[in-house]
Structure 1
Amino acid sequence: MKEDLPESIASEILKAYNTYIDTFNALTTLASELFRRKDWKRMQENHLRRLRLYKDEVRDSKLRILDQLGGQKNKLFWKKVKERYRLQIADLKDRELAETYFNSVIRKTVPGVSAEEEIMFVKEGFNACDIYPSEHLFYNYPAEWGLQRIIRKIVDDFDMGVPHLSKEKDIQFLVKTVREVILSRYKADDFTTTQILKSVFYRNKAAYLVGRTYVGRKWMPFIIPLLHGPNGLYVDTFIFDPNIMSNLFSFTRSYFMVETEIPSQLVAFLKSILPQKKVHELYNAIGFNKHGKTEFYRDFLAHLEQSEDEFIIAKGIKGMVMTVFTLPSYDIVFKLIKDHFEPPKNMTRQEVRAKYKLVSMHDRVGRMADTHEFEDFKLPLNRIHPELLEELKSTVNSLVEIKKDTLILKHLYTERRMTPLNIYLDTCNHEDAKAAVEDYGRSILQLAQANIFPGDMMIKNFGVTRQKRVVFYDYDEIEFLTDMNFRRKPKAETYEQIYASEPWYDIAKNDVFPEDFKRFMIGREDVKEHFQEFHAKLFDPDHWNSIKDSILKEELLHAFPYPKSIRFRPEELD
């Protein structure tokens, strides 16, 4: 063994990481220019390219390293590589991301390796850090300037270099909202100040300013969405509601394009205004989903050490494709693809994995849950309920391995736990049921606007979040909406057609008859009629085809992540 080989391998991994992060930052920076040009098609393409980047770079790193190694190496060798790498990244401002990249390369390069502290960065991770002075991270607007001057300066600082629809009207909208929401409750004093991150958060057709005001001896966070419409740039609303802000950074949303020199600093600021969000969720939200996965795993390991409950089968109707279990004290479900699917399911495990991959690369518009994919996931065997262990052995036995006191699951997905919609509707009151079925219909239509047809739209495949938002989470039958053919059922005219036991007309594989949705969508009698009236468009093939036509014309339909009722100009074209 050459003495310098561990150093050389560490340098190769760091070089690859630098290539990855430089390209990531370049793609992220491009978002501001695409927003200015209203190039929404390329905005989507740019986002997709960034999503694919990590996997491509790790694959290339693996090939280059294998070429250098000239054969398999033992654990002592990889321990040396890790120590060399640790020294090489010691002064990086994004050291935590470099650690995760190292882990990814090692997992792909070393056969049969699992998360081992000796050769990987398992427990390092994010630590809460002081936020740097304002000139590095945010603009600062002192209270002595007065409200009008502060708002005008904010609008000037973020003018995007494009014409405004009506700058003065935007300023007065913002001033009025601050007076109504903040100054009606709190009085500005010598300690009052406003901070807004210099980095703008881009997603789809919107740009978001994220800030906080110190007033009443506490920080009050806010978000200002900007839209670039046909007649120029305008402020769409001013968000102070913590639930709406949380939804903007939800696990059901696509990742933001946001520039950051020091990711941990950006996360620290976001954590200060969204304290209910976990660190891994915030890394996900700003596009570092692979490091988000690392931080999730660290959080999970810490929770295991602090809890004693057993893993059990998840509540709800058992799926035909996935086996799902959970830890009651932890708000995550674990999903494994079954070894065999019962009819009418007719697909392979690889096809199911492809569907989950599609979702990970697609705009989730707040209606599909994000997932993390794991291999060789270890759990303590003594924490597995006997009923769950039996279920795993009978449904996903090919993915199960037991070594001494450890259960190893060879492939699984993790996903936020929600209350299945069918269970929610069985237990909630009438008003909550009305709201849920309305949101259920909205979720389907918003997915359609994002070119996603859920396929199996039964309510058992949807969940309800803590904020009572309905989210789709069963992906094995999703298709692109543009691949579907929405039809009206031909009317029977002859005696034979009327009394035929099978459809007398031709049905192609991707034919969909929306009028049939009424038969299975909502079973709860006291809200069924309300649902069908509220969402009459769901059963009209013409409406589905109009959405399909818009997508085929490459019209990006913007799904607003906040209520129409709070928009300053709900009549504006977007």
Structure 2
Amino acid sequence: MSEQLIGKTAQFLLAGFETYIRDFNELTDLTPIFFKIRDWKALQQNHRKRLRLYKDQVNTTRQNLNEILLENTNSFDFWKTAKAHYSLLISNKKDKELAETYFNSVIRKSYSGLVINEDLMFVHEGYNSCAIYPNDNLYHSYPSDWGLDRIIQKILEDFDFGVPYMNKEEDIKFLIKSVKDVILTRYIPTSDSTTQVLKSVFYRNKGAYVIGRIRFGGKWMPFIIPFLNGPKGVFADTMIFDPNLMSGLFSFSRSYFMVKTDIPSQMISFLNAVIPNKKIHELYNAIGFNKHGKTEFYRDFLNHLSQSQDNFVLSEGVKGMVMTVFTLPSYNVVFKMIKDYFDPPKTMTRQEVREKYKMVGLHDRVGRMADTHEFEEFHLPLNRIDPLLLEELRSTVNSLLYTTSDELILRHVYIERRMTPLNIYLDTCSTEDAKQAVEEYGNSILEMAKANIFPGDMMTKNFGVTRQKRVIFYDYDEIEFLTDMNFREKPKPETFEQIYASTPWYNIAPNDVFPQDFKRFMIGRKDVKNYFFDYHTDLFNPENWKKIQEKIISGSGIHAFSYPQKIRFRPDEEI
């Protein structure tokens, strides 16, 4: 085994990772420019480019390595030594945890049949093993003796976005009032009071989010200020103190932020202090390092497995025609596997379903579509698989399974957040909760439409309800781009033959959609059915769908507000 080849392999891996990070940062750095000039189409295209980077660079690195490794590709001893060399090379890097994940990604693609192995991969290291660096470049600090007015004014000076403010003085008044109403009614500033604001701005859609915290009364009070850039200039849209709203900004149904960070682990630590009910893997996802988020999820999952005893079981709800879905009751995710054969009338292939999931992964989820981690060769303890689940898996996804003496291995699986299926929720909730749920259901469909997504199968079983009672779509096998659909009025019959025809007497193209027909399957619960139809009349009007299409085609872009319109400082201000 050549020491020179081992060293060259480690260097190759590091060069591949550094190329990925360089390209990632270059694309991230373009975002403030697009925000400044209000080029929303370019901003979205730039976001998609960044999402594709990781997989493309891993494949390039793998192909380059395969050309030099030859017989060493599947050598256990070779990779074990290469990992040790690589560990030394990255030991002083400020993004060491990301470099470890990159190594894992390459070796999984290069070493055929490799299972998770601690000798060959970075399995349990974790983000908190990274070195701690001075925080000078992480956040601005504003001492309490400056006084609230000066602090707020300085924050706006520090974040000018290169664009004139629409009305800076009014923004200052709004922000001062927000702090007084929420904090100063309960706490009095002391000598240890201070304000810290992350220097990096979090960009998404048409918004730029400034995140900070204020120390009062011996504890930190986090806040988020969303800024928007409208035709009249930049303005502070609101100031968020509600932890549930802040958590929603980092939701699994939101697209990743475009945000620059030199030391990811320390930004994650700051965010974890600001939004403590988010897991580490969710925060890495949110700042765009979703592949490392996947690594942190797996670590969290292994830890949970070691501390729990319950069995994996089939998920509640109507069995899917395309997916077999199961869960571990004590862990808040579901495992989704594409069936070997689809129940009629489904006619697509397994690869077509995978393409739909890729489509969602590269799209703006606007707070209405669940994020998904895709795994290959995922290992589960065989003695924790409920017998009924194992029987179902054998009969529906057998080609994606194999077993050892003590493990069930899934060749391919999607993992996403567990929610209560909307149809089950509506079966048991109160009338008031049902009204809120059907409002959310319609809002979810319309907000996806504005992001150029037509869900296809809109039955309530394909939507879930979160703990915050938000309705999220999670069944992607029939989604299409909205602009590819043809919304039509249903022709009225004019003859007896047309009235009593057993099949449609008019031509229907594959992409034709008749919104009037939605009422037949959308809501079955009688006490809220008419309420839903009245509340969401636009859903059943073809002209409304066409207007959404026209706006998308015009390139003006949409903004998915991740907080209620009622808390905006200027609710009617256009962007």
Alpha-carbon RMSD across the aligned residues, in angstroms, is: 1.0
| Cα offset, 1:559, TM superposition | 1.2
- What is aligned with 2:20? 20
Which digits, 9 at most, give the CA deviation of each residue in 1:83-106, with x for residues without a partner?
Answer: 110111110010000000000000
2:183 and 2:527 map into 1 onto residues whose CA distance is 41
State the SS of the aligned residue for 1:374: strand
1:294 and 1:88 map into 2 onto residues whose CA distance is 20
Q: Closer, same or farther in 2 for the Cα pair 1:73/1:343, shift >3 Å?
A: closer
2:534 and 2:31 map into 1 onto residues whose CA distance is 40
| Cα offset, 1:2, TM superposition | 2.3
| Cα offset, 1:133, TM superposition | 4.7
- What is aligned with 1:259? 260
Contact 1:283 / 1:291 at 8 angstroms: preserved in 2?
yes
- What is aligned with 2:145? 144
1:132 and 1:370 map into 2 onto residues whose CA distance is 32
2:355 and 2:249 map into 1 onto residues whose CA distance is 27
State the SS of the aligned residue for 1:500: coil
2:433 and 2:131 map into 1 onto residues whose CA distance is 42
Which digits, 9 at most, give the CA deviation of each residue in 1:453-473, with x for residues without a partner?
Answer: 000000000000111100000
1:205 and 1:479 map into 2 onto residues whose CA distance is 24
Taking the TM superposition and a 5 Å limit, the aligned residue runs for 1:344-359 are 344-359=345-360
- What is aligned with 2:108? 107
Contact 2:438 / 2:532 at 8 angstroms: preserved in 1?
yes
Structure 1 range deviating more: 219-228 or 181-190: 181-190
2:159 and 2:149 map into 1 onto residues whose CA distance is 16
Q: Does 1:361 align with 2:344?
A: no
Contact 1:433 / 1:527 at 8 angstroms: preserved in 2?
yes
Normalising to structure 1: TM-score of the pair? 0.99
Which digits, 9 at most, give the CA deviation of each residue in 1:541-574, with x for residues without a partner?
Answer: 0000000111111120111111100001111111
Contact 1:255 / 1:285 at 8 angstroms: preserved in 2?
yes
- What is aligned with 2:68? 68
- What is aligned with 2:379? 378
Contact 1:6 / 1:80 at 8 angstroms: preserved in 2?
yes
Which digits, 9 at most, give the CA deviation of each residue in 1:125-149, with x for residues without a partner?
Answer: 2117797555221011111111111
Contact 1:452 / 1:479 at 8 angstroms: preserved in 2?
yes
Which digits, 9 at most, give the CA deviation of each residue in 1:214-246, with x for residues without a partner?
Answer: 112211111000000001010000011111110
1:19 and 1:128 map into 2 onto residues whose CA distance is 24
State the SS of the aligned residue for 2:34: helix
- What is aligned with 1:45? 45
Q: Which amino acid aligns with 1:519?
A: R
- What is aligned with 1:323? 324
| Cα offset, 1:5, TM superposition | 1.1
| Cα offset, 1:189, TM superposition | 1.4
1:212 and 1:490 map into 2 onto residues whose CA distance is 58
Contact 1:134 / 1:140 at 8 angstroms: preserved in 2?
no
| Cα offset, 1:179, TM superposition | 0.8
| Cα offset, 1:30, TM superposition | 1.1
Q: Which amino acid aligns with 1:371?
A: T
State the SS of the aligned residue for 2:35: helix
Contact 1:131 / 1:269 at 8 angstroms: preserved in 2?
no
| Cα offset, 1:32, TM superposition | 1.0
- What is aligned with 1:290? 291
- What is aligned with 1:494? 495
2:64 and 2:134 map into 1 onto residues whose CA distance is 41
2:220 and 2:238 map into 1 onto residues whose CA distance is 20
Contact 2:314 / 2:325 at 8 angstroms: preserved in 1?
yes
2:217 and 2:104 map into 1 onto residues whose CA distance is 45
Contact 2:197 / 2:210 at 8 angstroms: preserved in 1?
yes
| Cα offset, 1:73, TM superposition | 3.8
Which digits, 9 at most, give the CA deviation of each residue in 1:278-336, with x for residues without a partner?
Answer: 00000000000000000000000000000000000001100000000000000010000
Q: Which amino acid aligns with 1:41?
A: K
State the SS of the aligned residue for 1:70: helix
1:288 and 1:3 map into 2 onto residues whose CA distance is 32
Which digits, 9 at most, give the CA deviation of each residue in 1:402-425, with x for residues without a partner?
Answer: 111110010000000000001111
- What is aligned with 2:479? 478
- What is aligned with 2:10? 10
State the SS of the aligned residue for 1:118: coil
- What is aligned with 1:571? 572
Q: Which amino acid aligns with 2:474?
A: Y
- What is aligned with 2:512? 511
Q: Which amino acid aligns with 2:451?
A: A
- What is aligned with 2:89? 88
Contact 1:439 / 1:470 at 8 angstroms: preserved in 2?
yes
Structure 2 spans left out of the alignment, 5+ residues: none
State the SS of the aligned residue for 1:141: strand
1:433 and 1:133 map into 2 onto residues whose CA distance is 51
1:170 and 1:130 map into 2 onto residues whose CA distance is 39
- What is aligned with 2:303? 302
1:548 and 1:19 map into 2 onto residues whose CA distance is 38
- What is aligned with 2:273? 272
1:355 and 1:513 map into 2 onto residues whose CA distance is 23
2:432 and 2:99 map into 1 onto residues whose CA distance is 49
Taking the TM superposition and a 5 Å limit, the aligned residue runs for 1:334-345 are 334-345=335-346
